[in-house]
């Protein structure tokens, strides 16, 4: 199965570099390029790609607004934000807009290609440094700044355990080891949580775990 990709970046050289690398990869195909957020939205509507690789700073409509419009559309297109601006405003803005991935441009090209494949399957992926910062930021919040706990309903006690571990940043393999279950079973629990909680990806599960109080601030 070929993953269809749209590249959205206002720098032609960046798009050209990504296009050349993707062209050499089996299973990946660039079906369009955009230099603005508005062009990215139009291409997503026209081509219905599996993944849009989206820059943030672009003229006119920026990448965050474009991401919001694309992820709320009916096509099921996933968005990876790929930016040089590795700051909290960009990170949280991208997550709130519905991005399934947040990567920085100094990552190895092979890692970016792997991220496209992962996000195309419906999973979420963040650059390792970003994941650590996201979890640390939630965990280090004073109680006065923590969001009010919102109970999570409709899940079993075991699923609640898994959600707490996802919120702690554990991988499926680590969850399986912690709960003495198989990796396949851990994956099944995570898939059920994604469905029951109407979460687009694993990143949303992390946020839900903190917002629900399953992972305490300062933990």
Instruction: Answer whether 95's CB lies under 8 Å from 197's CB.
Output: no
48: Cβ contacts below 8 Å, ≥ 6 apart: 4, 75, 76, 77
- In angstroms, the first-to-last Cα distance of the chain is 42
- Confidence (pLDDT) at 174: 84
Tens-digit pLDDT string for the chain (219 aa) = 899 999 999 999 999 999 999 988 999 999 999 999 999 999 999 999 999 999 999 999 999 999 999 998 887 899 999 988 767 778 778 888 888 888 888 888 888 898 899 888 876 666 656 655 665 665 555 544 444 445 678 899 999 999 998 887 777 888 899 999 998 899 899 889 988 998 867 777 877 887 788 876 443
pLDDT of residue 204: 77
Evaluate whether 205 touches 193 at the Cβ level (below 8 Å). Answer: yes
Residue-level pLDDT at 212? 83
pLDDT for residue 79: 94
Q: Please give the Cα distance from 203 to 99 (Å, whole number).
A: 9
Res 61: pLDDT: 94
Per-residue confidence (pLDDT) for residue 48, from 0 to 100: 94
What is the predicted pLDDT for the residue at 145?
Answer: 45
């Amino acid at each position: 199965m070929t993953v269809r990709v749209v590249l959205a970046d206002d720098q032609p050289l960046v798009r050209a570099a990504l296009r050349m690398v993707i062209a050499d990869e089996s299973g990946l195909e660039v079906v369009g390029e955009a230099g603005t957020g508005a062009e990215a939205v139009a291409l997503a509507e026209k081509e219905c790609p599996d993944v849009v690789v989206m820059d943030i700073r672009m003229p006119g409509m920026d990448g965050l607004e474009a991401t919001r419009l694309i992820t709320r559309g009916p096509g099921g297109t996933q968005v990876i934000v790929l930016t040089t601006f590795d700051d909290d405003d960009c990170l949280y803005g991208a997550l709130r807009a519905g991005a399934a991935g947040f990567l920085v441009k100094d990552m190895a090209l092979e890692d970016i290609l792997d991220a496209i494949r992962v996000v195309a399957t419906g999973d979420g992926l963040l650059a390792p440094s970003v994941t650590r910062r996201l979890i640390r930021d939630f965990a280090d919040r004073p109680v006065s700044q923590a969001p009010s706990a919102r109970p999570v309903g409709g899940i079993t006690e075991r699923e609640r355990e898994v959600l707490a571990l996802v919120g702690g940043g554990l991988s499926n393999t680590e969850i399986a080891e912690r709960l003495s279950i198989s990796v396949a079973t851990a994956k099944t629990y995570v898939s059920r949580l994604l469905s029951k909680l109407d979460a687009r990806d694993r990143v949303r599960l992390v946020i839900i775990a903190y917002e629900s109080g399953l992972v305490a601030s300062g933990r």
